[in-house]
Amino acid sequence: MRIAVQEADFDIGAEVAAFAHGRRDMGAIVTFTGVVRDLATGDLTAMEIEHYPGMTEKAIAGIAAKAAERWSLGDVLVIHRHGRLAPGDRIMMVATAAPHRKDAFEAAEYLMDYLKSRAPFWKKELSAAGADWVVAKDEDEDALDRW
Amino acid sequence: MDVLYFAWVRERIGLPRETVETGATTVSELVAELRAREDRYAAAFADLSALRVAVDQELTDFDAPLAGAREVAFFPPMTGG
């Protein structure tokens, strides 16, 4: 398991290649990449991501450990950025390796659902109109119910 | 005890962390003490349903005991991913 909380960008191709390297028993590798999306109004200038150093890494490790209990997984990778990002920048990625694709897909979705509302990150959107903290959505909380 | 604030809670109170001398035995008692300090604290803690709390970096609730706690953090619902 590798968990990285970092300000720097990451190279998806290199990360996936390193994650998959040398595995002969994993038939499926699923990856998800989150990207800074512009607002509906199209004037987003930046997104600032704050986090809680220490708790963030622990919370993600806990979520990944739960996923590993629930699905047959060979490995998990989570990279999540913080700091100031621009529209189109990568925010985070998740990769799961499993003998079978159903486990890899479901575990990746589970990780995403929990990272959204149980890992201590907060997003702020900056636009010409000012700066606004992104408000957590009820549907993000509801998404946890299916697990 | 170290008390940490994140996101708009940090902005409203005006600092990211502080050391607090407290006899509070639960998170709720600590919140009551902080609220009584100044308007900016009262404003930040006006609606607890809009806040989450972690004690020693574990999410918990406002009834949680503080015995032995070293670090309490207050923040809005998380928006990761």
Q: What is the dihedral of CA B7, A40, A46, A55, to 10 degrees?
A: 30
Cβ under 8 Å to A: B residues 33-72? 54, 57-59
CB–CB of A21/A86 below 8 Å?
Answer: no
Q: Is B81 within a domain?
A: no
The closest alpha carbon to A117, from B69, B37, B8, B76, belongs to B76
Q: Is B49 within a domain?
A: yes
In chain B, the number of structural domains is 1
Length in residues, chain A: 147
Burial A31-70 (b: 16+ CB within 10 A, else e): bbebebeeeeeeebebbbbbbbeebbbbbbeebbeebbee
The DSSP output letter for B49 is G
Q: Which domain holds residue B48?
A: 2-75
Maximum CA extent, chain B: 37
Q: Are A119 and B78 a contacting pair at CB < 8 A?
A: yes
pLDDT tens profile A12-26: 999 999 999 988 899
The partner residue sitting opposite A116, judged by closest CB among B10, B57, B81, is B81
What percentage of chain A has pLDDT greater than the value 70? 99
Residue B68 pLDDT > 90: yes
We report the CATH number of the domain holding residue B11 as 3.10.20.30
Which pLDDT score is estimated for A22?
87
ipTM above 0.90, yes or no: yes
Which pLDDT score is estimated for A23?
86
Q: Is B33 within a domain?
A: yes
Return all residues near A127 (Cβ < 8 A) that are at least 6 apart: A39, A41, A43, A44, A45
Average pLDDT over residues B21-33: 97
pLDDT tens profile A48-102: 999 999 999 999 999 999 999 999 999 999 999 999 999 999 999 999 999 999 9
